[in-house]
Chain A
């Protein structure tokens, strides 16, 4: 009797669990505010983009993109917690709600945008795929790579670009696919492959990990377009707008000459564009569900796009990457943000 009773009770409880309405989703902004911090997905360590130092502080352009969003919401760029993810894990982590936004040098493609239930909010780095090659092979151009063995990292658009490129040129290759970029470099260093392929911004960083970096060189060819940017879940337009416009605010700030150094002086500016961006005029923040001075907080604490770039990947950093495509449209690049009004 006791047994049947407890069994029945168990069954009722089970029903309760299964029938419980799946937590009615609050908006992402509400849940982030409630938590008191932004949960941001980044790489497990890629110099210039997202990497923890020996004290556990994260730095990098992807990290700063997250910090800017936190500064816009909380007025505190430190209110971010980072979740290191591999290329394979990243989309699942975002889909399942484990993270609020993904900022992990992720290429914007149609398939990812349309079929994963995700939205790309913009581009914080325009990249392209290139080749790192051992100098001994005496190859100067990617068209001479017929028959080469090539190391790649799994779970990236790189695998498809590589296959497309070689097929288009009628050349053959053998792909060796590793799980992490660390193993890819090891495979290259051990001589398992002739060539290592990845986004050009990464090749410089990966080359610096070799025992003798001068033994390898980066070929001049760029075989693909890799617009890298932050990603959010589909279905929360307010959150999508926030992440999108924080980055646009940073780009507009560079265009308007607002930097973290002069932002306090700029508060007195009578340029209406500057006033709207810094929140001294209009209600741009309120339209997004943010404080009106969000632009001020972002620029003050994180800086404009150019500062973010120079600090992490620019010519004075170990990566030493020129602005190139990532310069403002007014300076020969393709960086162009819609007007903040």
Chain B
């Protein structure tokens, strides 16, 4: 009986007619083909390079580089390895990208809000800024800031001088360098305590407001704590800080901190260019918040500033974040134009000089591409996390 029921069921399709098995099979074949294709490409490249007598492998990273680099955030001289030049270039790329992202965001938000200003002049100026800057190729803007601005600065011997410690000339901007002495740890300690205190204060103020409705001036008090505590610590420790002042030695200034014109030109050009796009994104974000929201906030009696901070911007952020991420990615990638004006970024140092001295184009280009991919994916990751935090919470 039991056997009969089994038999009476329509027989399942043969494995090669089973759509599930078939789709799995074809997916497996597709993946195998992709891997085989990739492996063939790599294998062919390697064997072709070997048969032509071209060196391969990553051993060159341990060889002595033997060339100088003008600016480095990590200790570097010509006796160090090619691997070190990679690191130097990477740090310089990250530096200008980070500086650019911060500046572009600030300028972009200001211009974006100004574009919506009810003041005719302010709105039109913002419009002109956006239309001019975003419609000129970035490379030309970099050249403009580099050659036009550099050409108008004086030579080192005729530097613009402020108080004997700040100097500006066509070799860069020279600033005094703070050198921490014994006991400066106390100031760092005080700063950490201050940060913890401000976080605690904010939590307490919020809880109190929820319970009693009273508003505590968190921002002003917090700012005061952040400034006063470290300053007190600094004075108690007996001002443990000395300044290394720049001074003219021979051809150039020595000592202090130097901001080279290449960095300044690239930073200004990247920031202004990207800011013009961010401004439009901010404008679209703010306009996407319906007018009823502002009216409702006004009806509740919220002042203009609070309406903007608590009602409009949080909602605008949902529209702003995804395209803003793209702009950050663009900025990081555009920083590779540095090579045109001699700023020693990853492309100029590693894919330029190092590639040329070693001749190992395939390896160097592969590493460089992997780095840009990693930088971009990291920015993307953090922006996605932030996006999730500000997105509408469906309840």
The chain A residues found within 8 Å of chain B, CB to CB, are 4, 7, 11, 14-15, 18-19, 22, 87-88, 91-92, 95, 111-112, 115-117, 137, 145-149, 151, 154-156, 159-160, 162-164, 166-167, 173-179, 183, 186-187, 190-192, 194, 233-235
Whether B84 sits at the interface, judged by CB under 8 Å, is: no
In the complex, the answer to whether A174 meets B37 with C-beta atoms within 8 Å is no
Residues of the B chain whose Cβ atoms lie less than 8 Å from the Cβ of A177: 70, 342, 344, 348, 352-353
Q: Closest CB-CB distance, B94 to chain A, in whole Å?
A: 19
Q: Closest CB-CB distance, B165 to chain A, in whole Å?
A: 20
Q: List 21 A-B contacts (CB under 8 A).
A: A7-B26, A11-B33, A18-B37, A88-B356, A92-B361, A115-B54, A117-B54, A147-B254, A148-B250, A149-B171, A155-B353, A159-B357, A162-B68, A163-B67, A174-B252, A175-B69, A183-B340, A187-B342, A190-B150, A192-B150, A192-B170
In the complex, the answer to whether B342 meets A178 with C-beta atoms within 8 Å is yes
Interface size class of B (residues with CB under 8 A): 35 or more
Q: Mark B345-360, 1 if CB is under 8 A from A, else 0.
A: 0001000110111110
A260 to B41, CA, bound (A): 50
B362 (CB) vs chain A CBs: closest residue: A92
Residues of the B chain whose Cβ atoms lie less than 8 Å from the Cβ of A87: 356
Residues of the B chain whose Cβ atoms lie less than 8 Å from the Cβ of A11: 29-30, 33
New A-B contacts (18) at CB < 8 Å, excluding given A22-B44, A111-B358: A4-B22, A14-B37, A91-B359, A115-B359, A149-B251, A149-B252, A155-B355, A160-B67, A163-B67, A167-B79, A175-B69, A179-B339, A183-B341, A187-B342, A190-B150, A191-B155, A233-B52, A235-B51
Whether B223 sits at the interface, judged by CB under 8 Å, is: no
Q: Mark B147-171, 1 if CB is under 8 A from A, else 0.
A: 1001101010000000000000011
Whether B249 sits at the interface, judged by CB under 8 Å, is: yes
Q: A137-B251, A146-B250, A155-B356 are in contact. Are A173 and B261 (CB under 8 A)?
A: no
A235 (CB) vs chain B CBs: closest residue: B52
A160 to B29, CA, bound (A): 51
In the complex, the answer to whether B68 meets A175 with C-beta atoms within 8 Å is yes
Residues of the B chain whose Cβ atoms lie less than 8 Å from the Cβ of A117: 49, 52-54
Q: Closest CB-CB distance, A224 to chain B, in whole Å?
A: 13
Partner of A192, one of B67, B171, B348: B171
Q: Closest CB-CB distance, B30 to chain A, in whole Å?
A: 8
A190 to B143, CA, bound (A): 12
Q: A4-B26, A190-B151 are in contact. Are A176 and B359 (CB under 8 A)?
A: no
A14 to B41, CA, bound (A): 13
In the complex, the answer to whether B353 meets A194 with C-beta atoms within 8 Å is no
Q: Closest CB-CB distance, B317 to chain A, in whole Å?
A: 40
Q: Closest CB-CB distance, B119 to chain A, in whole Å?
A: 39
